Structures are given as C-alpha cells and as structure tokens.
Amino acid sequence: MQASAETKASPSFAIAPALLAWYDAHARSLPWRAPPGAPPPDPYRVWLSEVMLQQTTVAAVGPYFERFTRRWPTIADLAAADEAEIMAAWAGLGYYSRARNLVACAREVVRLGGFPSTEADLRKLPGLGAYTAAAVAAIAFGEAAVVVDANVERVVARLFAITDPLPGARPAIREATATITPPVRAGDFAQAMMDLGATVCTVRSPRCLLCPLRGACRAEAAGIAEALPAKTPKKPKPTRKGRVFWIEREGAVWFVRREAKGMLGGMRALPDDGWHARADGHGEGPVAGPWRSGGVVRHGFTHFDLELQLMLCDAAEMVHQLPPEEGEFWPLVRLDEAGLPTVFAKAARLALSERS
C-alpha cells in the first residue's frame, strides 16, 4: 500500500522539537494534566481522564472528572466505593461499560499495589485497550509509547498525506506516528499532538497558517488537508422502537435496576418493554393498567437510534402489583441524584412536563 510505504521515513523537518516548543507555549490547562516539562501527574488521574475521554469531549468530561476526584481522590477510594454509586455518578457520560470496567480496574490496581509502569503490563488491566495503556504509559510514566487518538489520527494522516480511508488507514497512521514519537518527553509529545488536533489541525477549517508543523505537512502542501483523514461512508443506522413506563405514587416514581450485563447494565432506570432486544415497540408493561401516551423520547446510540413511547399511569390502582424486590419508589425531589442514563433522564423530563 503506497500510503504505508511513504510513512517508513519521517519528513526531514524536525517534528518533535517543533511540536514540543509549540506545546510549551500553547498547552491547554486541563485538570488531569501536569504543565509541560513538569513531573508526570498521578497515574490515577491520567487513567481516569483517559477512560472518561473515550468518545467524549473534553468539555463534557471536565465536570465529571472534578466530581469523581473530589468524591474518590485516590485509586483506593474508587476501588472501595459501591459500584452502584459509581454507575450513578457516571450517568450522562454514556458508554456505561467504561464505568463497569473502571470499578474492576481500580480494584485490580489496588490488589497489585499500584499501577504497572509499562504499556505491556497496563494492557493486562481490565478495560485498558491499546490506546489507554499507551496514553497512561507515556503521560504518567514517560515511556516512549505510541499514542494515537482521533486527534492524533487526523494530524498524522495530514502530516504524511495518508489518503486511504479510515478505518483501513489506521495501521499506516500508527506506523507513521511511531516514526516521530521521541524517546524523551513522550507524554508531552502525545498531549501536544492531541492539543494540536483539538485547536489547530481541526476537522473543519484547519488553521494551517498557525501550525508549527506546516513545513512538514504533505497534505497542506498538496492542498488536501481538510479532506483528510478520509473516511469510509457510514451505513445508515437502524431505528428501534419501544415503550418506557412512568409509574408515580405520592411524589415518587418507580425505578428498576437493569441487569448487570447488557446495554446500560447495572444502571437505575425506568421500566421498559425490552427495547434493547426488540424492534417492534409492542412489549408488555410492568403491570396491567390504564396506560396513556405521554409522547415520544428519541435518543441516538452508537449503532442504532431509539424511539420510546412514554406511557403514563396513576400508580394507585396498580402499586400492589409491583414486586418490591424488582425496584423502588424514588422521590421526585431527588430525581437528579438517581443517576439515570440519558435516555431515561429524557423520559423523566418528558413525564414531568406532561404532569405540570
């Protein structure tokens, strides 16, 4: 593959020194970072931030990171916490398997007596894939690991004019990144690449005139920077339909706990008709009763879109039918503390608007 062959040697431009000099002057100030050139940050904070940042923006992660580290300031605190509390605190960040892996990883790190310091050993921890292990190894321990996230993919695809579309281009991008990763200040280099992609080498309208790597960028020279990285067109997402049920009694609403495994596993939620396994929207309610429609909730997941018909009722006639071992009545005044996944939080807001 031609794109891969071109990445076997880096451009003559001194990429790492130029990028690190730029980073020293322009690094973003983020709560999980140490300033450029400073001693590495606590690996707990690096790991926690990297897990949170997977497929989530820095702006969205910031408040969650601050709340988590105030509540659980060390890895030992997190490991000792109740899993349900962690899942509730995670609510709204999405991709809830990350939160379940967070608990498992924290407990394993405590069992080991601390975080492993190498990329290879970090990969053995629960939930740590190639990217997270490399990021923690480089940023927290200074290992010259090759760190490639979406921002780095974009920078490197443009820098080396790798025109093959994603995801097929990823091996070539990783190979190219390895050629420019320096043996020292690897953590700062990785974060500099992330910052460059986030602030200069952006998806649309890249600010090429301000880029410290402009002299080495093959895509900018060819006038194709904004077109890279190329992506394989996505297939249209299917739409699933289902129903979600609001049962209210004396200022409280009935919540269930979802099964530990599966989508939104272990989370507190409104009862539904099993939409995660159905597509027809005709599943049964939790109890028989005089249900009425309260509108439609729409939510997008990674692989499908969801439309939920909100069903409302007066619980007075059916509360005796609800098995207490399967759920609980949660006070409406404490609804924000329930830790509902976003789709159920949307349903709750709709239900409250219908009753007002």
- The domain tally of the chain equals 2
Q: Which pLDDT belongs to residue 315?
A: 55
* 262 pLDDT more than 60: yes
* Residues 24 and 51 grouped into a single domain: yes
Encode pLDDT of 115-170 as tens digits: 999 999 999 999 899 999 999 999 999 999 999 999 999 999 999 999 999 999 99
**Three-class HEC string of 276-307:** HHCCCCCCCCCCCCCCEEEEEEEEECCCCEEE
Q: In this predicted model, which residue has the larger pLDDT, 278 or 336?
A: 336
CATH number for position 252: 3.90.79.10
| Distance between CA atoms of residues 51 and 102, nearest Å | 8
Q: In this predicted model, which residue has the larger pLDDT, 325 or 347?
A: 347
Overall average pLDDT of the 39-52 stretch: 95
Residue 93 banded pLDDT, cuts 50, 70, 90: confident
In a domain, 233, yes or no: no
Q: Active-site residue numbers? A: 50
Enclosing domain of residue 166? 2-227
In a domain, 232, yes or no: no
Q: Which pLDDT belongs to residue 294?
A: 87
CATH number for position 110: 1.10.340.30
Task: Select from 227, 252, 277 the last residue of a domain.
Answer: 227
Beta strands in 258-301 (DSSP E): 268-269, 292-300
In a domain, 18, yes or no: yes
Residue 286 contacts residue 271 (beta carbons within 8 Å):
yes
* Residues 207 and 262 grouped into a single domain: no
Nearest to 52 by CA among 108, 2, 5, 94: 94
